[in-house]
Amino acid sequence: MHILEKCLARVNAALAVLAAILLVVATVIITWMVFKRGIGLQSSWELETAIELMISATFLASPYTLTTGGHVKMDLLDTWLSGSAAQWVPLLPKVLACAVCLYLGYAGLDMTMHAYVTGERALGVWQPLVWPKYSTVAIGMLLTAAQYVLEILRAIGYREQGVDHV
Domain annotation covers residue 64:
yes
Tally of structural domains, the chain? 1
Binned at pLDDT 50, 70 and 90, residue 129 comes out as very high
pLDDT of residue 149: 94
Which whole number is the average pLDDT over 21-37?
95
Q: Give the separation between CA 3 and CA 165, rounded to whole angstroms.
A: 8
CA separation for the pair 100, 87 (Å, rounded):
22
Q: Kindly give, in sequence order, each residue whose CB lies less than 8 Å from that of residue 154, ignoring residues fewer than 6 positions away.
A: none
Confidence class for position 165, pLDDT limits 50, 70, 90: very low
In a domain, 56, yes or no: yes
DSSP state of 40: T
For 88-140, the three-class secondary structure string (H helix, E strand, C coil) is: HCCHHHHHHHHHHHHHHHHHHHHHHHHHHHHCCECCCCCCCECHHHHHHHHHH
Q: Is residue 125, in this structure, part of any structural domain at all?
A: yes
**pLDDT tens digits, one per residue of 69-107:** 877 666 666 667 667 666 677 788 889 999 999 999 999
In a domain, 111, yes or no: yes
- Widest pairwise Cα distance in the chain: 67
Contact 141, 59 (CB under 8 A): yes
Predicted pLDDT at 86: 66
Q: For the whole prediction, is pTM greater than 0.85?
A: no
Domain span at residue 75? 2-161
Q: Is residue 78 part of a domain?
A: yes
Name the burial class of residue 10, with classes exposed (0-12), middle (13-18) and buried (19+) by CB atoms within 10 angstroms of its CB.
exposed
Within a domain: 146: yes
Does residue 156 fall inside a structural domain?
yes
pLDDT in tens, 33-53: 999 989 988 888 888 899 999
Does 166 reside within a domain? no
CA distance 45 to 49: 6
Residues in the chain: 166
Average pLDDT over residues 103-124: 95
